[in-house]
């Protein structure tokens, strides 16, 4: 190798003592640089080698390992930086979604599986089991949808909050909204000066690892809004086909088509577990 000064060789020798076990306790060796083949691109890789005094062979510091050229080494470093960046993009996304699409009701901020009581009600027990299984399956990569139907106060939002909080802690990108809230978010993009377009929201909605839409069927307020809501809901359900989504509703299977439309209901069936919980209104237990 050209351009190698005695000083560089001396420094390399010192460094090598830390690198190669055999050299730790000795000083009777010389070092030099040789040209090798980059394992990645077949280009020229510079390989530092040492030779113990009196021995014939030069030994590579990387003996038994692949060596890379300068370009490939730089590329590897760059890939690491990109990876770190990817992670921070994801963290940024999680933060943004928490601001924009994470709306756990105030009374459910602490809702979890532990404080969901079944009190001998077999429907509640079954619902809780399905919810816990959902989390387990999700973590194992077995992803599907849930539709939880039931009367007011039966604990639907509590259960889906428990699912959402557990998976969010695992780092998944999760949206949690009532359908009404999501629709008004979409509606507000039509306002003058809105920072977002409807397409932005659609993109976000299809991006969530898990989307929870609470209170399906309770979104429409007036007759005018009814048709618009139905159409939007159809778009949203369509967007989420093939992506894990959990719906809750006060309507049961029989009445859902009237509330949200036949075509939307029909699309809810694909890959979806339906459960119905009938239970005393828990809110009555909470009154002062």
Ligand X SMILES: Nc1ncnc2c1ncn2[C@@H]1O[C@H](COP(=O)(O)OP(=O)(O)OP(=O)(O)O)[C@@H](O)[C@H]1O
| Interface mask toward ligand X for 185-224; x: CB under 6 A | ------------------------------x---------
In the complex with Mg ion, the residue whose CB is nearer, 16 or 213, is 213
In the complex with ligand X, the residue whose CB is nearer, 86 or 285, is 285
129, 148 in Cβ contact below 8 A?
no
Q: How far is the CB of 155 from Mg ion (least distance, A)?
A: 8
| Interface mask toward Mg ion for 98-137; x: CB under 5 A | ----------------------------------------
Residue 157 in contact with ligand X, rule: CB under 6 A? yes
Residue 73 in contact with Zn ion, rule: CB under 5 A? no
Residue sitting closest to ligand X (CB): 155
Q: How far is the CB of 270 from ligand X (least distance, A)?
A: 24
Q: How far is the CB of 148 from ligand X (least distance, A)?
A: 8
Residue sitting closest to Mg ion (CB): 157
Q: Which stretch binds ligand X (CB under 6 A): 26-34, 106-114, 201-209, 257-265?
A: 106-114
With CB cut-offs between 5 and 8 Å by kind, which of Zn ion, Mg ion, ligand X, none does residue 111 bind? ligand X
**CA separation for the pair 275, 272 (Å, rounded):** 10
User: What is the C-alpha end-to-end distance of the chain, expressed in Å?
Assistant: 87
Task: List the structure tokens of 37.
Answer: 């083949």
Residue 124 in contact with Zn ion, rule: CB under 5 A? no
Of 218-277, binders to ligand X (CB under 6 A) are: 250
Cα four-point dihedral sign 147, 102, 250, 128: positive
Give the length of the chain. Answer: 288
| Edge-first strand listing for the sheet containing 145-150 | 174-178, 210-214, 245-249, 145-150, 272-277
With CB cut-offs between 5 and 8 Å by kind, which of ligand X, Zn ion, Mg ion, none does residue 41 bind? Zn ion
Of 148-167, binders to Mg ion (CB under 5 A) are: 157
Residues in contact with Zn ion by the rule CB under 5 A: 38, 40-41, 43, 69, 72
């Amino acid at each position: 190798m050209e351009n190698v000064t005695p000083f560089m060789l001396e420094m390399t020798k010192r460094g090598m003592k830390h690198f190669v076990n055999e050299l730790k306790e000795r000083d009777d060796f010389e070092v030099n640089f040789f040209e090798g083949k980059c394992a990645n691109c077949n280009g020229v890789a510079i390989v530092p080698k040492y030779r113990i005094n009196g021995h014939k062979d030069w030994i590579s510091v990387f003996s038994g390992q692949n060596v890379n050229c300068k370009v490939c080494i730089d590329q590897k470093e760059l890939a690491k930086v990109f990876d770190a960046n990817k992670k921070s993009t994801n963290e940024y996304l999680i933060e943004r979604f928490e601001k924009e699409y994470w709306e756990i009701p105030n009374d459910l901020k602490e809702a979890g599986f532990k404080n969901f009581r079944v009190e001998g009600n077999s429907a509640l027990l079954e619902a809780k089991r399905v919810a816990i299984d959902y989390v387990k399956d999700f973590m194992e990569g077995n992803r599907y949808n849930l539709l939880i139907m039931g009367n007011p106060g039966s604990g639907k939002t509590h259960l889906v909050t428990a699912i959402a909080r557990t998976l969010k802690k695992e780092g998944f990108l999760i949206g949690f909204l009532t359908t009404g809230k999501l629709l008004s978010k979409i509606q507000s993009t039509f306002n003058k000066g809105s920072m977002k377009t409807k397409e932005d929201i659609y993109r976000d909605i299809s991006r969530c690892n898990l989307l929870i839409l609470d209170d399906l069927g309770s979104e429409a307020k007036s007759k005018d809004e009814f048709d618009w809501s139905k159409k939007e809901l159809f778009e949203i359900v369509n967007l989420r086909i093939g992506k894990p989504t959990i719906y809750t509703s006060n309507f049961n299977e029989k009445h859902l088509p009237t509330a949200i439309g036949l075509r939307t209901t029909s699309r809810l069936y694909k890959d979806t577990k339906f459960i119905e919980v009938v239970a005393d209104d828990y809110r009555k237990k909470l009154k002062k």
